[in-house]
Structure formats: structure tokens, C-alpha cells
């Protein structure tokens, strides 16, 4: 049995990662960390009854993280995999960006990873095993206009990942990041047809990625056999960078 926590479990990418684990690994016990908008997450839990559950999780709250980890360890006695996937973006040029747009994006994308990693490390150290996969973004290394807040936060996730990987390596814990580019989720919903065509022209593969393609990379980094892979930042972008 493998106990897996995925934050942002109500979004397209979080649901895709959760489904991948559930379909590909019979021993996976998946917990979807959610705060609101539970419909799709509840549907996945119903589909995989007994193997997929929801857990209340406000990812920017230390207390919420401690409660979620406690719930999981009481149920399974362990916590094997954390996928820090929750996040948001509020794009604007820096000159016109208000304070709340800065702080909310940095908090949801970077503070959440700090709180999450810190919450699971004690359990993973006692186990002498753990896999942490942090979902960053291609914006961390190839930032577009209007994303100073989001790009800074995701670059921080990569740096946090690489530093933490060194701190916990001897305890049998790996920490890696994946950097998705354009992925077919609700994040692309505001993009009109012409903007989508233009974006695809900038991708050597000439298409957007699928959540399952990100999930496959996450599952590899989370598996037993990836024990010598840590501190990596794997881009999944169709060749953009």
C-alpha cells in the first residue's frame, strides 16, 4: 500500500495525476487535498471507492497541513508521496499589479510548498522513505510578460526543491520538481482559438500537453526505482525550452 497526497485535487492536473496513480498502481491510496469546488474530486473518489478520498486542506495554513497529515497517518500509518500541485495565477504587468495579486499568488504557489514539505518531512524521516514532487512551471525558467508574481513563485519552488533535496537525501527521501508548459486544463480555458493557435506555433510538437503526460512523469519520480533521482527539475513542454 502506498499513501499519496495530491494538493489541488479538484483541478484538471491534480485530478489527472490522481487518476494516473489509481489506474496504474493497484496499491495506491490517493488523498485529494481540496478546499472548495469538490464536484470533480468527489466523482473521482466515488469511481475509486475505498482507494481515493478527499481531505480538507487550505494549503497556505500550517494548521490545515498538520491536520491533513494526521488524518492520513492515522488511516494508513504512513505517508509515502506528496505531490504539491495546488496553485493559481493572477497575471498583470508589474507596474499595475496590486499588492493582493502579488501576495496571493506567491502564497498559493510557494508558501504552500514550504508548509507542505515541512509537514510531511517528520513522517517520511521516521519511515526512512518518502517521495516529494513539486509542480512548478515552465514560467520558472522561461517567464512570459505579465507573470512576475507567478514566475517568481515557481522559480522559488525549483530552488526550494533543490535545496531540500540535499537536506533530506540521507533519510531516503527524494525531492523533485516538474515544470509543465501548456497543458490542456482549465488554466487554458480563457484562451481563445486564435491565441491557442499562436501558442501552438511556438511549441515544436505543435500541440498542448495532456494531464496524463505530466502524471506519468510524476509517477516515475514518485516510484521506488527513482531512488537516485533527487533535486531535479524536469520540464514537460513539448520542446519549447
Which residues fall within 8 angstroms of residue 170, CB to CB, at 6 or more apart? none
Residue 229, all three cell numbers: 533521482
d(CA 7, CA 112): 9
User: Cβ(125)–Cβ(79) under 8 Å?
Assistant: no
Q: Which of 20, 150, 182, 228 is catalytic?
A: 150
Query: Does 182 participate in catalysis according to the annotation?
Result: no
Closest CA to 175 of 233, 215, 112: 233
Let me know: does 28 contact 76? Beta carbons within 8 Å.
no
The C-alpha atoms of residue 74 and residue 69 are separated, in whole angstroms, by 8
Q: Give, in degrees to the nearest 5, the angle at Cα 52 between 33 and 22.
A: 110
Active-site positions read: 150
Amino acid at each position: 500500500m502506498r499513501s499519496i497526497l495530491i494538493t489541488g485535487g479538484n483541478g484538471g492536473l491534480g485530478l489527472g495525476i490522481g487518476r494516473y496513480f489509481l489506474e496504474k498502481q493497484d496499491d495506491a491510496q490517493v488523498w485529494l487535498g481540496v478546499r472548495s469546488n469538490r464536484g470533480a474530486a468527489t466523482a473521482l473518489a466515488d469511481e475509486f471507492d475505498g482507494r481515493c478520498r478527499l481531505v480538507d486542506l487550505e494549503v497556505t495554513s500550517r494548521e490545515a497541513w498538520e491536520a491533513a497529515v494526521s488524518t492520513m497517518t492515522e488511516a494508513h500509518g504512513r505517508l509515502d508521496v506528496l505531490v504539491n500541485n495546488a496553485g493559481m495565477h493572477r497575471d498583470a504587468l508589474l507596474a499595475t499589479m496590486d499588492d493582493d495579486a502579488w501576495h496571493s499568488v506567491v502564497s498559493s504557489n510557494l508558501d504552500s510548498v514550504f508548509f507542505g514539505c515541512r509537514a510531511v518531512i517528520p513522517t517520511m524521516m521516521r519511515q526512512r522513505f518518502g517521495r516529494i514532487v513539486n509542480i512548478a512551471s515552465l514560467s520558472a525558467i522561461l517567464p512570459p510578460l505579465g507573470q512576475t508574481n507567478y514566475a517568481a513563485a515557481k522559480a522559488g519552488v525549483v530552488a526550494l526543491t533543490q535545496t531540500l533535496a540535499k537536506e533530506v537525501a540521507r533519510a531516503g527521501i527524494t525531492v523533485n520538481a516538474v515544470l509543465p508548459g501548456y497543458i490542456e486544463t482549465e488554466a487554458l480555458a480563457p484562451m481563445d482559438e486564435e491565441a491557442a493557435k499562436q501558442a501552438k506555433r511556438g511549441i515544436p510538437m505543435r500541440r498542448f500537453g495532456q494531464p496524463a503526460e505530466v502524471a506519468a512523469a510524476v509517477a516515475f519520480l514518485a516510484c521506488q526505482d527513482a531512488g537516485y533521482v533527487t533535486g531535479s527539475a524536469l520540464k514537460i513542454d513539448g520542446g519549447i525550452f
